Structure 1
Amino acid sequence: MKNVIASFTIFIFLIFGIIFSIKYIEKTCNFYKMEASNLENVLINNDWEDAYKLSNTFLDSWEKDSKIIAIFVDHHHIDTVYTEALKLTQYTKCKDKSNSLASVHTLKFLMDDIIDYQKLTFQNIF
């Protein structure tokens, strides 16, 4: 009987851990998608100083949050976002609008990809 109770308790903790991790990743990635959208609007308006500041803020925030996200997400995704954010800082510094907008779009796509990769679906299980 003790084994059944212990197994059930571990199972419940596992379910809560999965739910917590999915919600945390969705919340964090949606935050970064909003930051990327704000950055995109600044780039469209050709405000390069603000764009450079926002891109550096994005990079610094991602460096901090990626340490926690790394517990739940494949490191390839984290490294790809980091690399793209680094490129974005240089594109905004050089005032390269087309590459800056492309990087922002890539960052949004990567955030969606991380969310989709973590959802509990048959495709992700098998």
Structure 2
Amino acid sequence: MKSTIVSFSIFILMLFSIIFSIKYLNTVCMKLQNLNTKIEQTLQSNNWEESYRNSEHFMSEWKKYSSKLSIFSNYNEIEDINNELWKLIHHITYKNKEEALISVDIIKNSIYSILHMQQLNIENLF
């Protein structure tokens, strides 16, 4: 009886941990996606100073969350986002709109990929 209670308690604890971690991942990814969208909008309106400030803010948020996201995701995806973010900042600095928008899109797709791969569904369980 005692082992059943302990096992059930561990199961409940694991379930809450999974739910909490997925909620945290969703929150962080949505925050990063919103920042990325702001960068995209300012780039499309050719507001280079605001784009640069937004990209610097994205970089600071990325540094804060990337170590935690590496728990949920493949290291290569984290490194790809990091590299594209550096490219984005340089493209904005040199006012290369096309390349900057491509980097924004790559970052957006990578964050979506992290979020999608960690969703709780049958496909990801098996």
In the alignment, which residue of structure 1 is the partner of 2:66? 66
Total equivalences in the alignment: 126
**Residues 1:36 and 2:36 are matched in the alignment:** yes
In the alignment, which residue of structure 2 is the partner of 1:77? 77
Deviation, structure 1 residue 83: 1.2
1:1-126 equivalences in 2 (<5 Å): 1-126=1-126
Higher relative contact order (CA 8 A, sep 6+): 1
Q: Deviations over 1:3-45 (max 9, x none)?
A: 1111111110111111111111111111111111111111011
Deviation, structure 1 residue 115: 0.9
Deviation, structure 1 residue 50: 1.5
Query: Aligned equivalents of 1:11 and 1:77: distance in 2?
Result: 30
Opposite residue 54 of structure 1, the aligned amino acid is N
Query: Aligned equivalents of 1:14 and 1:81: distance in 2?
Result: 30
Query: Aligned equivalents of 1:76 and 1:17: distance in 2?
Result: 25
Q: CA RMSD in A?
A: 1.1
Q: Deviations over 1:25-79 (max 9, x none)?
A: 1111111111111111110111111111211211121011112222222222211
TM-score after normalising by structure 1: 0.94
Q: Secondary structure at the match of 2:72?
A: coil
Q: Structure 2 stretches of 5 or more lacking a match?
A: none
- Superposition misfits of 4+ residues, deviation over 6 angstroms: none
Query: Aligned equivalents of 1:35 and 1:76: distance in 2?
Result: 22
Query: Aligned equivalents of 2:48 and 2:78: distance in 1?
Result: 26
Q: Secondary structure at the match of 1:15?
A: helix
Opposite residue 112 of structure 1, the aligned amino acid is Y
Opposite residue 65 of structure 1, the aligned amino acid is Y
The percentage of aligned residue pairs carrying the same residue is 36
Opposite residue 22 of structure 1, the aligned amino acid is I
Q: Structure 1 stretches of 5 or more lacking a match?
A: none
